[in-house]
Amino acid sequence: MPKYNYTALDLQNKKLSGELDARDDDDLRRLLRAKNLVPVKYSVIVEQSTRYHMKALEVGEFSRQLAGMLASGITIVRAMEILKARDFTAKVKKIYDKMHRDVLMGYTLSEAMELQGNVFPALFVNMYASGEASGQLERVAEKMATHYEKEHRLNARAKSAMVYPMVLLGATVVAVMFLFIAVLPELFEMFQGEELPALTMFMIGLSSFLQNYWYLVIIGALILIFIVNFLLTVPKIRYQFDRFKLKMAVAGKLLKIIYTARFSRTLSSLYSSGIPMLRALEITSSIINNKYISDQFDEVIMNVRNGETLASTIESVDGFDKKLATTIMIGEETGRLDAMLESTAESFDYEAEIALDKLVQLLQPVMIVIMAVVIGTVMLSVMIPMMTMFQGVTA
């Protein structure tokens, strides 16, 4: 039930304030009258849990557990009561508690989700609303559980794929900083009074700068990270950055497969649950996570609304694997678009996992080469004057 903040008068006309749980305004007034209080003003307390965004794994777990309870004949109200008592984080338990209050007040489960703000993804809420309208809530819950479990697995793979390159990058930075601050200054002392090549002079200057102003390098790096993150929030810059990612020689092809998998899986879930194609396309375009591709969907939706086939409009989208349009065309011609979309989603999910593995295989040698070039350049700046000195001694 909602929590109210109220101000009321008692029998001595004394003003009192407090908080009280009530189903609605009428129930609050009834509860206050039972306490011999006359309400002066009251309002629903807006809780802060709505600022929390549930992760793909949390959404998948919620849907999986709900599907199991619905299959056992447990009502939505009882299911939410069980869920809020389970061992979740404090924020998630708070969300489930609010949802339990809302369904007790007569809201549907999808309406209760929507009342939480942006806690649940729009796709998730729309799918549950469709399941409630069609009487297939259990089936939708299972489908959404599978969808978000796959989404979590793909996200986890993407994160783990970046671990090794980031470790190599960190090792390179630490090694270079150690060389410049602890090792090179002692070596450079041997070169005093000698005529040194430009590369060595540059390294000596850089080493001296890092010794005296290393904290400025750290501050500069943090500022640079902040500026890059800020610039990527600017729509035009984000658009060009997302477009550039797709145009990269090898990585671009792999990213296209990943975006195609995400699109086909989401569209399959929406369309097979009875959501109209235009609405399904609107929702799907918002979750692709690539602005360059998403911005092309205004034209896609307009073309489908004007009677063009989905296959022909999807074929014009720059950023999807070409196989997607072909499979959609077959589905439209055979009248089995929902089945074809589901089959395509399964196929691209598998290809997306392979694409992520290939990205890792691509990044590893690139990072190793960068590390070798950086450290090799540093060592070269030391070896060139040492060899010159050795030749002068032996001459």
pLDDT digits (tens, 9 = 90+) for 356-385: 777 777 777 877 888 788 878 888 887 877
What is the SS3 assignment for 43? strand
- Whole-number mean pLDDT of the chain? 83
pLDDT digits (tens, 9 = 90+) for 104-136: 888 889 988 888 878 898 888 888 988 888 888
Report pLDDT for 13: 84
Q: Tell me what the mean pLDDT of segment 288-294 comes to.
A: 89
Q: What is the token pair recorded at 151?
A: 């989404």
Beta-sheet strand order (sheet of 15-21): 15-21, 3-9, 38-44
Confidence grade of residue 244 (pLDDT, cut at 50, 70, 90): very high
Query: How would you class 305 by CB atoms within 10 Å of its CB: exposed for 0-12, middle for 13-18, buried for 19 or more?
Result: exposed
Confidence grade of residue 65 (pLDDT, cut at 50, 70, 90): very high
Which positions ≥6 away from 323 have C-beta within 8 Å?
260, 344
For the chain, the 3-state helix, strand and coil shares in percent, each to the nearest 5, are 75, 5, 20
Residue of 120, 140, 159 whose CA lies nearest to 269: 140
Report pLDDT for 49: 44
Least confident of 56-65, 106-115, 264-273: 264-273
Name the percent of the chain lying above pLDDT 90. 12
Name the percent of the chain lying above pLDDT 70. 95
Q: Tell me what the mean pLDDT of segment 32-54 comes to.
A: 75
Question: What is the Cα–Cα distance from 363 to 158, expressed in whole angstroms?
Answer: 12
| Cα 352 from chain centroid (whole Å) | 16
Report pLDDT for 28: 80
pLDDT digits (tens, 9 = 90+) for 172-194: 788 778 877 877 777 777 777 66
Residue 240 has pLDDT above 90, yes or no: yes
Residue 40 has pLDDT above 80, yes or no: yes
More confident residue, 45 or 327: 327
What CA dihedral angle connects 350, 356, 359 and 364, to 10 degrees? -120
Report pLDDT for 196: 76
140 and 113 in contact (C-beta within 8 Å)?
no
Residue 227 has pLDDT above 90, yes or no: yes
pLDDT digits (tens, 9 = 90+) for 69-97: 999 999 999 999 998 888 788 888 888 88
Q: Tell me what the mean pLDDT of segment 301-320 comes to.
A: 89
Strand stretches in the chain, DSSP E: 3-9, 15-21, 38-44
Question: What is the Cα–Cα distance from 265 to 262, expressed in whole angstroms?
Answer: 5
Q: 227-241, 339-353, 359-373 — which one is most confidently predicted on average?
A: 227-241
